[in-house]
Amino acid sequence: MSDTPPDRLSVNPRSPFYDEAALARGIGIRFKGVERNDVEEYCVSEGWVRVAAGRALDRRGNPITFKHPGVVEPYFKTEGAAATDA
């Protein structure tokens, strides 16, 4: 795995942008210069994040999300070798 996070990533397993290996390694998100822990999905090239709207759910039981535009800076929280050894 490379040392740069994917351009687009989702925490929803049904999404085509879901990557279990990257999520297991730990992804941190800086959005507009602020550390965010509630990001459901992000895209660096398009410059947006999706954030859940509280505890509200849609009719299928998925969280309702809002798309916020801005500068997205993803990073890995752990080193590549350290995450596989632990």
User: Measured between alpha carbons, how far is residue 3 from residues 27, 33, 69, 78 in Å?
Assistant: 11, 21, 25, 10
In this prediction, residue 18 has a pLDDT band, given cuts at 50, 70 and 90, of very high
* C-beta separation of 25 from 76 below 8 A: yes
Rounded to two decimals, the pTM is 0.84
Residue 86, pLDDT > 90, answer: no
Q: Are 19 and 27 spatial neighbours (Cβ–Cβ below 8 Å)?
A: no
pLDDT in tens, 27-79: 999 999 999 999 999 999 999 999 999 999 999 998 999 999 999 999 998 87
* Confidence (pLDDT) at 1: 59
Q: Which residues contact 24 (CB under 8 A, 6 or more apart)?
A: 83
What does the radius of gyration of the chain's CA atoms come to, in whole angstroms?
13
CA distance 58 to 83: 35
pLDDT of residue 47: 97
Instruction: Give the domain ranges of the chain.
Output: 8-78
